[in-house]
Amino acid sequence: MLAVVAAALIVLGVAGCAPSRPSWTEHPLRIAGGSVTGVYYDYGTQLAEVLRRDLDVDAQVIETNGSVDNLHLVGAGQAQLGFAQSDAIADAVAGTGDFVRTLPIRAAARLYDEYVHVVVRADSGIRSISELAGRTVSLGGTGSGVSVVARRVLEASQVPAGRVRDVGLGLDASISALTDGRIDAFFWVGGLPTPGIERLAGRLPIRLLSIGPDVVERADAAHAGVYRSAEFPVGTYGSDESTVAMTVPNYLVTSADVPDALVRDVLAVLFSARAEVARSVPAAALLDRRLAIFTDPIELHPGAAEYYRDSRR
Protein backbone atom coordinates (compact mmCIF):
# COMPACT_ATOMS: atom_id res chain seq x y z
CA MET A 1 0.00 0.00 0.00
CA LEU A 2 2.79 2.41 0.88
CA ALA A 3 4.44 1.64 -2.42
CA VAL A 4 1.24 2.51 -4.28
CA VAL A 5 0.90 5.81 -2.40
CA ALA A 6 4.55 6.65 -3.03
CA ALA A 7 4.15 5.91 -6.72
CA ALA A 8 1.08 8.11 -6.86
CA LEU A 9 2.91 10.95 -5.16
CA ILE A 10 5.77 10.64 -7.62
CA VAL A 11 3.34 10.81 -10.55
CA LEU A 12 1.62 13.84 -9.04
CA GLY A 13 4.96 15.45 -8.41
CA VAL A 14 6.05 14.94 -12.00
CA ALA A 15 2.74 16.25 -13.26
CA GLY A 16 3.02 19.26 -10.99
CA CYS A 17 6.43 20.08 -12.45
CA ALA A 18 5.23 19.82 -16.05
CA PRO A 19 5.41 23.20 -17.81
CA SER A 20 2.03 24.83 -18.29
CA ARG A 21 0.93 26.49 -21.50
CA PRO A 22 1.09 30.29 -21.47
CA SER A 23 -2.39 31.61 -20.68
CA TRP A 24 -2.51 33.72 -23.85
CA THR A 25 -2.32 30.59 -26.04
CA GLU A 26 -5.79 29.60 -24.85
CA HIS A 27 -7.24 32.24 -27.17
CA PRO A 28 -7.13 32.47 -31.00
CA LEU A 29 -4.26 34.47 -32.49
CA ARG A 30 -5.07 36.32 -35.68
CA ILE A 31 -2.40 37.79 -37.97
CA ALA A 32 -3.50 40.52 -40.39
CA GLY A 33 -1.73 39.67 -43.66
CA GLY A 34 -2.51 41.05 -47.11
CA SER A 35 -3.22 39.87 -50.64
CA VAL A 36 -2.81 36.11 -51.07
CA THR A 37 -0.23 36.72 -53.80
CA GLY A 38 1.83 39.15 -51.71
CA VAL A 39 4.70 38.71 -49.26
CA TYR A 40 2.63 39.74 -46.22
CA TYR A 41 0.25 36.83 -46.66
CA ASP A 42 3.05 34.32 -47.31
CA TYR A 43 5.01 35.55 -44.29
CA GLY A 44 1.91 35.50 -42.11
CA THR A 45 1.02 31.99 -43.26
CA GLN A 46 4.47 30.65 -42.40
CA LEU A 47 4.53 32.49 -39.07
CA ALA A 48 1.11 31.08 -38.15
CA GLU A 49 2.31 27.59 -38.99
CA VAL A 50 5.37 27.71 -36.72
CA LEU A 51 3.35 29.34 -33.93
CA ARG A 52 0.78 26.53 -34.08
CA ARG A 53 3.56 23.96 -33.95
CA ASP A 54 5.85 25.52 -31.35
CA LEU A 55 3.33 27.20 -29.05
CA ASP A 56 0.23 25.06 -29.59
CA VAL A 57 -1.89 28.12 -30.32
CA ASP A 58 -4.78 28.57 -32.76
CA ALA A 59 -2.94 30.95 -35.11
CA GLN A 60 -4.41 31.99 -38.47
CA VAL A 61 -3.56 34.61 -41.08
CA ILE A 62 -6.31 36.94 -42.36
CA GLU A 63 -6.46 38.07 -45.99
CA THR A 64 -6.64 41.88 -46.18
CA ASN A 65 -5.96 44.75 -48.57
CA GLY A 66 -2.70 45.58 -46.79
CA SER A 67 -1.16 48.02 -44.33
CA VAL A 68 -4.08 50.37 -43.70
CA ASP A 69 -6.51 47.48 -43.24
CA ASN A 70 -4.02 45.70 -40.99
CA LEU A 71 -3.52 48.70 -38.74
CA HIS A 72 -7.27 49.17 -38.33
CA LEU A 73 -7.70 45.48 -37.48
CA VAL A 74 -4.90 45.49 -34.91
CA GLY A 75 -6.01 48.80 -33.44
CA ALA A 76 -9.55 47.46 -33.02
CA GLY A 77 -8.37 44.21 -31.41
CA GLN A 78 -9.65 42.09 -34.31
CA ALA A 79 -6.11 40.89 -34.97
CA GLN A 80 -3.28 40.55 -32.45
CA LEU A 81 -0.49 40.94 -35.01
CA GLY A 82 -0.20 42.52 -38.44
CA PHE A 83 2.22 43.65 -41.11
CA ALA A 84 2.41 47.34 -42.03
CA GLN A 85 4.56 49.89 -43.81
CA SER A 86 6.14 52.58 -41.68
CA ASP A 87 4.56 55.41 -43.68
CA ALA A 88 1.05 54.08 -43.00
CA ILE A 89 2.08 53.57 -39.36
CA ALA A 90 3.18 57.21 -39.14
CA ASP A 91 -0.33 58.25 -40.20
CA ALA A 92 -1.93 55.80 -37.76
CA VAL A 93 -0.05 57.10 -34.72
CA ALA A 94 -0.75 60.71 -35.75
CA GLY A 95 -4.41 60.15 -36.64
CA THR A 96 -4.04 61.56 -40.17
CA GLY A 97 -4.58 60.35 -43.72
CA ASP A 98 -6.70 57.19 -43.66
CA PHE A 99 -7.00 57.33 -39.86
CA VAL A 100 -9.52 59.65 -38.23
CA ARG A 101 -8.03 59.02 -34.79
CA THR A 102 -4.77 57.75 -33.35
CA LEU A 103 -4.55 53.98 -32.99
CA PRO A 104 -3.17 52.19 -29.89
CA ILE A 105 -0.55 50.26 -31.81
CA ARG A 106 3.00 49.24 -30.95
CA ALA A 107 5.85 47.61 -32.85
CA ALA A 108 7.09 44.07 -32.33
CA ALA A 109 9.90 44.13 -34.91
CA ARG A 110 11.27 45.80 -37.98
CA LEU A 111 11.24 42.98 -40.53
CA TYR A 112 12.62 44.11 -43.90
CA ASP A 113 12.48 46.95 -46.40
CA GLU A 114 9.75 46.85 -49.04
CA TYR A 115 10.26 48.00 -52.61
CA VAL A 116 7.87 50.27 -54.48
CA HIS A 117 7.08 48.55 -57.79
CA VAL A 118 5.66 50.40 -60.80
CA VAL A 119 4.92 47.61 -63.27
CA VAL A 120 4.23 47.88 -67.01
CA ARG A 121 4.33 45.37 -69.81
CA ALA A 122 7.74 45.07 -71.45
CA ASP A 123 6.18 45.89 -74.83
CA SER A 124 4.70 49.13 -73.44
CA GLY A 125 6.03 52.48 -74.61
CA ILE A 126 5.86 53.83 -71.05
CA ARG A 127 9.37 54.47 -69.76
CA SER A 128 8.92 56.92 -66.87
CA ILE A 129 6.53 57.87 -64.08
CA SER A 130 5.69 61.14 -65.88
CA GLU A 131 4.34 59.14 -68.81
CA LEU A 132 1.61 57.67 -66.61
CA ALA A 133 -0.36 60.92 -66.98
CA GLY A 134 -3.54 60.20 -68.90
CA ARG A 135 -3.10 56.43 -68.52
CA THR A 136 -5.23 53.83 -66.78
CA VAL A 137 -3.30 52.78 -63.69
CA SER A 138 -4.03 50.82 -60.52
CA LEU A 139 -2.80 52.77 -57.51
CA GLY A 140 -3.67 49.92 -55.14
CA GLY A 141 -6.82 48.71 -53.45
CA THR A 142 -8.80 50.58 -50.83
CA GLY A 143 -7.25 50.08 -47.42
CA SER A 144 -3.81 49.28 -48.80
CA GLY A 145 -0.47 50.87 -48.06
CA VAL A 146 0.13 50.74 -51.81
CA SER A 147 -2.45 53.46 -52.41
CA VAL A 148 -0.71 55.68 -49.84
CA VAL A 149 2.70 55.31 -51.49
CA ALA A 150 1.45 55.46 -55.08
CA ARG A 151 -0.16 58.86 -54.61
CA ARG A 152 2.95 60.19 -52.89
CA VAL A 153 5.20 58.95 -55.71
CA LEU A 154 2.95 60.61 -58.29
CA GLU A 155 2.89 63.83 -56.27
CA ALA A 156 6.69 63.84 -55.92
CA SER A 157 6.97 63.10 -59.65
CA GLN A 158 4.78 66.14 -60.33
CA VAL A 159 2.00 63.97 -61.75
CA PRO A 160 -1.18 64.79 -59.78
CA ALA A 161 -3.14 61.63 -58.96
CA GLY A 162 -6.08 63.17 -60.80
CA ARG A 163 -4.09 62.99 -64.03
CA VAL A 164 -4.21 59.18 -64.05
CA ARG A 165 -7.31 57.02 -64.34
CA ASP A 166 -7.09 55.02 -61.12
CA VAL A 167 -8.99 51.73 -61.11
CA GLY A 168 -8.13 50.97 -57.46
CA LEU A 169 -7.31 47.27 -57.77
CA GLY A 170 -5.51 44.97 -55.36
CA LEU A 171 -2.50 42.98 -56.49
CA ASP A 172 -4.34 39.93 -57.86
CA ALA A 173 -6.77 42.03 -59.88
CA SER A 174 -3.98 44.36 -61.06
CA ILE A 175 -1.99 41.42 -62.40
CA SER A 176 -5.02 40.13 -64.30
CA ALA A 177 -5.86 43.58 -65.66
CA LEU A 178 -2.30 44.20 -66.89
CA THR A 179 -2.21 40.75 -68.50
CA ASP A 180 -5.49 41.43 -70.32
CA GLY A 181 -4.46 44.93 -71.39
CA ARG A 182 -7.18 46.64 -69.33
CA ILE A 183 -4.66 48.82 -67.48
CA ASP A 184 -1.35 50.36 -68.55
CA ALA A 185 0.47 50.01 -65.22
CA PHE A 186 0.06 49.18 -61.56
CA PHE A 187 1.77 50.11 -58.31
CA TRP A 188 2.75 47.58 -55.69
CA VAL A 189 4.77 47.76 -52.48
CA GLY A 190 6.31 44.53 -51.25
CA GLY A 191 9.36 42.45 -50.45
CA LEU A 192 11.52 40.78 -53.06
CA PRO A 193 10.42 38.80 -54.81
CA THR A 194 6.67 39.32 -54.54
CA PRO A 195 5.21 35.90 -55.47
CA GLY A 196 2.38 37.19 -57.66
CA ILE A 197 4.65 39.47 -59.70
CA GLU A 198 7.25 36.73 -59.99
CA ARG A 199 4.63 34.42 -61.49
CA LEU A 200 3.41 37.21 -63.78
CA ALA A 201 6.95 37.78 -65.09
CA GLY A 202 7.21 34.06 -65.80
CA ARG A 203 4.40 34.23 -68.36
CA LEU A 204 4.45 37.88 -69.49
CA PRO A 205 7.59 40.02 -69.93
CA ILE A 206 7.31 43.09 -67.69
CA ARG A 207 9.34 46.20 -66.93
CA LEU A 208 9.73 48.15 -63.69
CA LEU A 209 9.74 51.93 -63.95
CA SER A 210 12.49 53.77 -62.10
CA ILE A 211 11.71 56.09 -59.19
CA GLY A 212 14.61 58.53 -59.23
CA PRO A 213 16.51 59.78 -56.16
CA ASP A 214 15.02 63.26 -56.61
CA VAL A 215 11.50 61.83 -56.38
CA VAL A 216 12.43 59.78 -53.32
CA GLU A 217 13.97 62.82 -51.67
CA ARG A 218 10.83 64.91 -52.20
CA ALA A 219 8.55 62.14 -50.93
CA ASP A 220 10.78 61.55 -47.91
CA ALA A 221 10.93 65.22 -46.99
CA ALA A 222 7.15 65.54 -47.14
CA HIS A 223 6.21 62.36 -45.29
CA ALA A 224 7.86 61.43 -41.98
CA GLY A 225 11.32 60.68 -43.40
CA VAL A 226 10.61 57.00 -44.02
CA TYR A 227 11.59 56.59 -47.68
CA ARG A 228 15.01 55.65 -49.09
CA SER A 229 16.56 55.12 -52.53
CA ALA A 230 17.66 51.65 -53.59
CA GLU A 231 17.91 49.48 -56.67
CA PHE A 232 16.11 46.36 -57.75
CA PRO A 233 18.87 43.76 -58.11
CA VAL A 234 19.63 42.72 -61.67
CA GLY A 235 17.66 39.58 -62.44
CA THR A 236 14.65 40.55 -60.33
CA TYR A 237 11.58 39.37 -62.23
CA GLY A 238 13.79 38.46 -65.18
CA SER A 239 15.20 41.95 -65.67
CA ASP A 240 18.66 42.23 -67.23
CA GLU A 241 19.23 45.79 -66.01
CA SER A 242 19.10 47.52 -62.63
CA THR A 243 16.15 49.76 -61.82
CA VAL A 244 16.25 52.66 -59.35
CA ALA A 245 13.61 52.22 -56.67
CA MET A 246 12.14 53.60 -53.47
CA THR A 247 11.98 51.53 -50.29
CA VAL A 248 9.97 51.78 -47.10
CA PRO A 249 10.53 49.75 -43.90
CA ASN A 250 7.99 47.11 -42.94
CA TYR A 251 7.13 46.24 -39.34
CA LEU A 252 5.31 43.53 -37.44
CA VAL A 253 2.85 45.46 -35.28
CA THR A 254 0.60 44.66 -32.36
CA SER A 255 -1.76 46.47 -30.01
CA ALA A 256 -0.74 48.23 -26.82
CA ASP A 257 -3.31 46.01 -25.07
CA VAL A 258 -1.75 42.70 -26.14
CA PRO A 259 -0.09 40.82 -23.22
CA ASP A 260 3.67 41.16 -22.89
CA ALA A 261 4.02 37.37 -22.77
CA LEU A 262 2.35 36.98 -26.16
CA VAL A 263 4.78 39.38 -27.82
CA ARG A 264 7.81 37.81 -26.13
CA ASP A 265 6.78 34.29 -27.14
CA VAL A 266 5.95 35.27 -30.72
CA LEU A 267 9.31 37.00 -31.16
CA ALA A 268 11.17 34.02 -29.73
CA VAL A 269 9.53 31.78 -32.35
CA LEU A 270 9.90 34.37 -35.13
CA PHE A 271 13.67 34.59 -34.66
CA SER A 272 14.28 30.90 -33.98
CA ALA A 273 12.34 29.91 -37.12
CA ARG A 274 13.82 32.61 -39.35
CA ALA A 275 15.83 30.25 -41.58
CA GLU A 276 12.91 27.83 -41.83
CA VAL A 277 10.45 30.56 -42.83
CA ALA A 278 12.96 32.05 -45.29
CA ARG A 279 12.90 28.86 -47.34
CA SER A 280 9.38 29.83 -48.38
CA VAL A 281 9.59 33.60 -47.87
CA PRO A 282 13.02 34.94 -48.89
CA ALA A 283 12.34 38.33 -47.27
CA ALA A 284 12.29 36.60 -43.88
CA ALA A 285 16.05 36.05 -44.17
CA LEU A 286 16.48 39.82 -43.73
CA LEU A 287 15.17 39.71 -40.16
CA ASP A 288 18.01 40.95 -37.94
CA ARG A 289 17.77 41.20 -34.16
CA ARG A 290 20.17 44.17 -34.14
CA LEU A 291 17.97 46.17 -36.55
CA ALA A 292 14.57 44.93 -35.40
CA ILE A 293 14.41 47.49 -32.58
CA PHE A 294 14.57 50.53 -34.91
CA THR A 295 10.86 51.12 -35.37
CA ASP A 296 10.39 54.89 -35.58
CA PRO A 297 7.83 56.44 -35.67
CA ILE A 298 6.18 53.83 -33.44
CA GLU A 299 7.22 52.66 -29.97
CA LEU A 300 8.23 49.10 -29.24
CA HIS A 301 5.69 47.08 -27.31
CA PRO A 302 6.93 46.52 -23.70
CA GLY A 303 6.98 42.76 -24.34
CA ALA A 304 9.18 43.32 -27.40
CA ALA A 305 11.52 45.62 -25.49
CA GLU A 306 11.85 42.95 -22.80
CA TYR A 307 12.58 40.25 -25.40
CA TYR A 308 15.37 42.26 -27.05
CA ARG A 309 16.84 43.25 -23.72
CA ASP A 310 16.91 39.62 -22.51
CA SER A 311 18.33 38.36 -25.81
CA ARG A 312 21.43 40.52 -25.33
CA ARG A 313 22.33 38.80 -22.04
CATH classification (class only), 114-249: alpha beta
Q: What is the predicted pLDDT for the residue at 162?
A: 85
pTM of structure: 0.86
What sign does the dihedral 21-276-251-36 (CA atoms) show? negative
Q: Domain limits of the chain?
A: 28-111+250-311, 114-249
Mean pLDDT split into 10-residue runs, the chain, 313 residues: 45 48 90 94 97 97 95 97 96 94 97 96 96 97 91 94 92 96 96 94 96 96 90 90 92 97 98 97 95 95 97 85
Q: What is the predicted pLDDT for the residue at 18?
A: 45
Are 301 and 254 contacting, i.e. CB atoms less than 8 angstroms apart?
yes
**Distance between CA atoms of residues 144 and 198, nearest Å:** 20
Q: What is the predicted pLDDT for the residue at 242?
A: 83
Q: What is the predicted pLDDT for the residue at 19?
A: 54
What distance lies between CA 154 and its chain's CA centroid? 22
Architecture of domain 28-111+250-311: 3-Layer(aba) Sandwich (3.40)
DSSP 191-245: -SS-HHHHHHHHHS-EEEPP--HHHHHHHHHHTTT--EEEEEPTTGGG-SS-EEE
The HSE-up count of residue 39 (CA atoms within 13 Å, CB side) is 29
Backbone angles phi, psi at 298, to 5 degrees: -125, 145
